[in-house]
């Protein structure tokens, strides 16, 4: 299982958010490879199910922002998704970049880098996605190399019910009264609030309850410091090299 409880050891992990989305088109193989090369300890990515039940890697449920196509992934088939250009919107340098299938990312990451896989949905994740995700994780023998996270806490719980050995985490924004209880109710091991909603009190309580704490997104030195002061175990960053350098210079790098 991925271990994220680094705060005790005075170390913090670098999560490459959607790969290295500050430098390359988010959630593409180029972005993941770059994130790895720039020193990320973990690569974060987002997944959806297509109309023919294949898992594609993309943030939005609608392909129009990050490809030259139109429509929702859930209504498009693999053959319709595979021909889309997921790179030109970012820059000509990435023209022809494909929307990756999850299995492409697993194949690349296997024995190389751990993955944080976020289940997306529109408005809820498709019920089949948890089983299909685990099937692929098993195919690449990566149970101890992935963590599954989501804003949809039922999906997080479903993963854990299907396989208690898979690391999981709940994402949230806003100020729930009991964020740690939310994680425990979902059988998760980590809380993952957005930067605005993380406080030291919440992080301390989470660690006391045996939970890890990861927060997103920190891209500037001021934001890195805010996260460190709160006591996180990992930080999601669009520019993994910036965070890597900053942590290493402060003796906080893994
Ligand atoms: O890792 C958590 C973060 O990625 C959640 O927000 O919108 O970037 O998927 P979003
Ligand atoms: Ca995400």
Alpha-carbon span 236 to 194, nearest angstrom: 10
Contact 193, 175 (CB under 8 A): no
Does 118 sit in the ligand 1 pocket, CB within 6 Å? yes
User: What pLDDT was estimated at residue 9?
Assistant: 76
Ligand 1 centroid to residue 49 C-alpha, Å: 17
User: What pLDDT was estimated at residue 164?
Assistant: 97
The residue nearest atom 7 of ligand 1, judged by CA position, is: 59
pLDDT at 5 over 80: no
Helices 129-139 and 153-162: crossing angle in degrees, nearest 10, is: 50
Considering 59, 110, 207, 250, which one is annotated as catalytic? 59
pLDDT at 4 over 90: no
Q: pTM value?
A: 0.97
pLDDT digits (tens, 9 = 90+) for 97-124: 999 999 999 999 999 999 999 999 999 9
Name 226's Cβ contacts closer than 8 Å, sequence gap at least 6: 195, 198, 218
Ligand 2 centroid to residue 177 C-alpha, Å: 23
Does 26 sit in the ligand 1 pocket, CB within 6 Å? no
Contact 46, 86 (CB under 8 A): no
Alpha-carbon span 200 to 186, nearest angstrom: 22
pLDDT digits (tens, 9 = 90+) for 44-66: 999 999 999 999 999 999 999 99
The residue nearest atom 3 of ligand 1, judged by CA position, is: 216
Alpha-carbon span 73 to 238, nearest angstrom: 24
78: phi then psi, degrees, rounded to nearest 5: -55, -45
**Is 59 known to be catalytic?**
yes
Report the atom number in ligand 1 closest to the C-alpha of 214.
1
Across residues 138-142, what is the average pLDDT?
Answer: 98
pLDDT confidence bin for 10, thresholds 50/70/90? confident
Ligand 1 centroid to residue 102 C-alpha, Å: 17
Does 194 sit in the ligand 1 pocket, CB within 6 Å? no
The helix/strand/coil state of 24 is: coil
């Amino acid at each position: 299982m991925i271990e994220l409880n680094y705060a005790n050891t005075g170390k913090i992990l670098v999560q490459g958010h959607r790969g290295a989305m500050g430098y390359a088109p988010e959630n593409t193989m180029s972005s993941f490879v770059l994130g790895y090369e720039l020193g990320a300890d973990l690569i974060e990515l987002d997944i959806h199910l297509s109309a023919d039940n294949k898992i594609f890697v993309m943030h939005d449920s609608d392909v129009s922002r990050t490809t030259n196509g139109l429509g929702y992934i859930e209504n498009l088939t693999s053959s319709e998704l595979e021909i889309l250009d997921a790179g030109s919107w970012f820059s000509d340098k990435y023209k022809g970049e494909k929307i990756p299938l999850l299995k492409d990312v697993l194949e690349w990451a296997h024995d190389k880098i751990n993955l944080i896989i976020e289940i997306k949905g529109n408005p809820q994740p498709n019920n089949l996605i948890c089983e299909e995700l685990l099937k692929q994780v098993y195919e690449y023998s990566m149970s101890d190399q992935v963590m599954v996270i989501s804003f949809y806490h039922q999906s997080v719980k479903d993963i854990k019910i299907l396989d208690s050995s898979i690391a999981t985490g709940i994402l949230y924004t806003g100020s729930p009264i009991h964020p740690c209880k939310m994680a425990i109710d979902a059988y998760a091991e980590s809380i993952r609030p957005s930067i605005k909603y993380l406080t030291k009190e919440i992080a301390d309580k989470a660690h006391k309850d045996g939970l890890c704490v990861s927060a997103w997104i920190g891209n500037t030195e001021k934001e890195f410091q805010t996260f460190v002061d709160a006591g996180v175990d990992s930080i999601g960053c669009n520019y993994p090299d910036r965070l890597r350098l900053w942590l290493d210079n402060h003796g906080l790098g893994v």
